[in-house]
Amino acid sequence: MTTVIGTPLIEALRKVPVFEDLKEDQLQWFASNAEDLHFAAGDLVIEAGAPANQLIVILAGELQGKPPKGEGVYIRGAGTITGMLPFSRMTQFPSTVRATAPTRLASLHKDHFEEMFRRIPDIQPRLIGVLTDRVRESTRADQQLEKLAALGKLSAGLAHELNNPASAVRRSTAGLRDALANLREANFSLCREELSDEVLEHLAEIEKDVATEMTGSPVMDALDRSDREDHIAAWLEKRGVTRPWELAPALVEAEAEDDCLVKLSAQFPGKTLEFALRRMSATIEVEKILRQIESGATRISDLVKAIKEYTYMDQSGDKEIDLHEGLESTLTMLHHDLKNGINVRRDYDLSLPKICGKGSELNQVWTNLIDNAIDALAEEAKAGRGQITIRTARDAAFVLVDIVDNGPGISPEVKSRIFDPFFTTKEVGEGTGLGLDTVYRIVRDHKGDVRVDSHPGETHFQVRLPIPKGA
């Protein structure tokens, strides 16, 4: 590096691959028209937002660029050509660039580009190649950011969805511990009363019947339930039961009628009635909590299953795919965003044959299209009027997936560019414009077709995928 920094500019340029085989007079022209710039480590080279008016050849050292919003950094070393390249549409430098080491640059103002092409004809295709590589690299980075943003959004929603049942299970286990303690205490109390086996067996049968018949859902509204609890608590208090308000909710949960309570008071006179009711109440509570734990665990299991189906974790390459399974797993993944003011209507043709393709890629298609529909329904969702319809049907030699939303629609100007890479209608920082480009590429890779039809109140994104021969 020191050698390059101290050598004449022509010799330093000769060490850059694009210039290494140029004629002496061509190098001489470039060197005489370029600025020979030197920077120490940490020096500012370019300020973000400055006019993009210079081609930069890094002769020695290293440059580091950082966008104002901090979305990653890029590093360029010796031998690299950067800055404003011929035929680039860049008007401003997007990043603040600093030297990270003692650095030497050759900077050529864009006003010299036309003369450079006349004097050095071979350099034009080489610089076009550099520009093409830069576009390809930038596209790849933006696509990666798009995927990471989508993954982050899905992860946040899934974390919320998993947290609810997981928290419910944790709360239920604490309640189960208390209910089992109450059950043990009630059993000890009954055992000290020396009741006959027949009476205890009858109580066990009642508890079994109650547990079997529990619906697990409210049988009355909150006001009626409160009235019933007050009625049972008053009935228990008259019979000398202590803290009757602790028993009343479970007895209401078990739908205990007055005649049932009267029969119990006849079989368990005096203090034994309280012990019997406390055991029955604890049994009911245990059954209720077990059902809550089962429901939470089932929800977690269903989410894990949906994740596995969505990502096709155990599969690779082209497989037979059930479109409806992919759509349902995608809806599960997006459930957190869909449950607030948006109704999903399914109109599936379940007789459709399976298709061949990459399941995880097609799920990216459904995710992008449904996610865009969710974004389009922001205002309708606030009023609780958001509607997404997902229709599947056979269309000649294709299967059709039609995703419809009742949002404001897409203007003709936007519609004509909607599948263009980097085109987005979202605010700066909210999208890269690669979501629908990804949809288009994946569908085309599957030999299919994607179209959009839109007017206010109804937007259709229609994906057609080929049906295998003979299906």
User: pLDDT tens digits, the chain, 471 residues: what are they?
Assistant: 444 566 889 999 999 999 989 999 999 999 999 999 999 999 999 998 899 999 999 999 999 988 876 556 778 889 889 988 888 888 888 889 999 999 999 999 999 999 999 999 989 888 888 888 777 776 666 556 565 565 666 666 677 677 777 887 888 888 888 888 888 888 888 788 777 777 777 777 777 777 676 655 555 677 887 888 888 888 888 888 888 888 888 788 777 777 778 877 877 777 888 888 888 888 888 888 888 888 788 878 777 776 766 665 445 567 888 999 889 888 887 887 787 789 999 999 999 999 998 887 888 889 889 988 998 898 888 888 899 999 999 998 999 999 999 999 888 877 777 766 544 555 434 443 346 887 888 898 899 999 999 989 999 999 999 998 876
Do 113 and 195 sit in the same domain of this protein? no
Q: Domain ends where: 303, 323, 350?
A: 303
d(CA 221, CA 211): 21
State the Cα–Cα distance between residues 461 and 439, nearest whole angstrom: 11
Last residue of a domain, one of 98, 121, 144: 121
Give the separation between CA 108 and CA 65, rounded to whole angstroms. Answer: 19
Q: Are residues 282 and 321 in the same domain?
A: no
Residues 389 and 409 in one domain: yes
Is residue 367, in this structure, part of any structural domain at all? yes
Closest CA to 379 of 404, 344, 408, 403: 408
Whether residue 36 is found in the same domain as residue 160: no
Answer whether residue 140 is part of any domain.
no
Asked if residues 452 and 459 have their Cβ atoms less than 8 Å apart, the reply is yes
HEC assignment per residue over the chain: CHHHHHCCHHHHHHCCCCCCCCCHHHHHHHHHHCEEEEECCCCEEECCCCECCEEEEEEECEEEEECCCCCCCEEEECCCEEECCCCCCCCECCCEEEECCCEEEEEEEHHHHHHHHHHCCCHHHHHHHHHHHHHHHHHHHHHHHHHHHHHHHHHHHHHHHHHHHHHHHHHHHHHHHHHHHHHHHHHHHHHHCCCCHHHHHHHHHHHHHHHHHCCCCCCCCHHHHHHHHHHHHHHHHHCCCCCHHHCHHHHHHCCCCHHHHHHHHHHCCCHHHHHHHHHHHHHHHHHHHHHHHHHHHHHHHHHHHHHHHHHCCCCCCCEEECHHHHHHHHHHHCHHHHCCCEEEEEECCCCCCCEEECHHHHHHHHHHHHHHHHHHCHHHHHCCCEEEEEEEEEECCEEEEEEEECCCCCCHHHHCCCCCCCCCCCCCCCCCCCHHHHHHHHHHHCCCEEEEEEECCEEEEEEEEECCCCC
What pLDDT, on the 0 to 100 scale, is given for residue 232?
86
Instruction: For residue 442, give the CATH number of its domain.
Output: 3.30.565.10
Q: Is 147 a domain residue?
A: no
Q: How far apart are CA 320 and CA 317, in angstroms?
A: 10
- Residue 428: per-residue pLDDT: 38
CA distance 281 to 179: 9
- pLDDT for residue 9: 92
Nearest to 457 by CA among 413, 411, 405, 415: 405
Closest by alpha carbon to 207, among 295, 288, 291?
288
Tell me how far apart the alpha carbons of residues 121 and 125 are, in angstroms, rounded to a whole number.
8
Instruction: Find the domain containing 453 and state its range.
Output: 314-466
Residue 255's contacts (CB-CB under 8 Å, 6 or more residues apart) are 213, 214, 219
* 65, part of any domain: yes
Interatomic CA distance for residues 380 and 386, integer angstroms: 5
Q: At CA 413, angle to CA 368 and CA 89, rounded to 5?
A: 85
Alpha carbon 183 to chain centroid distance? 44
The domain total for the chain is 3
Would you say residue 130 lies in a domain? Answer: no
- C-alpha 153: how far from chain center: 3
Nearest by Cα to 44 from 105, 104, 96, 101: 96
User: What pLDDT is recorded for position 251?
Assistant: 80
Widest distance between CA atoms in the chain: 117
End-to-end alpha carbon distance in the chain: 65
**Are residues 298 and 166 both part of a single domain?**
yes
Examine residue 190 and state whether it is found in any structural domain, yes or no. yes
17 and 70 belong to one structural domain: yes
For residues 232 and 330, membership in a common domain is answered with no
Helix axes 435-445, 359-376, angle to 10 degrees: 140
Is 136 a member of any domain? no
Q: Are residues 191 and 324 in the same domain?
A: no
* Distance in angstroms (rounded) separating the CA atoms of residues 41 and 36: 17
**pLDDT (0 to 100) of residue 116:** 93
| Listed residues 303, 338, 368: the one ending a domain | 303
Alpha carbon 47 to chain centroid, angstroms: 35
Residues 289 and 364 in one domain: no
Write the single-letter amino acid at 435.
Answer: G
Residue 355's Cα: distance from chain center in Å? 25
What pLDDT, on the 0 to 100 scale, is given for residue 311?
61
Mark whether 71 and 161 lie in a shared domain: no
- Encoding tokens for residue 369? 């299209």
State the CATH number of the domain containing residue 31: 2.60.120.10
| Main-chain dihedrals φ then ψ at residue 457, nearest 5 degrees | 90, -5
Q: Does residue 268 sit in the same domain as residue 384?
A: no
Q: Domain check: are 112 and 175 in the same one? A: no
138: its two tokens? 């930038």
In a domain, 148, yes or no: no
Question: What does the alpha-carbon distance between residue 44 and residue 63 come to, in Å, rounded to a whole number?
Answer: 10
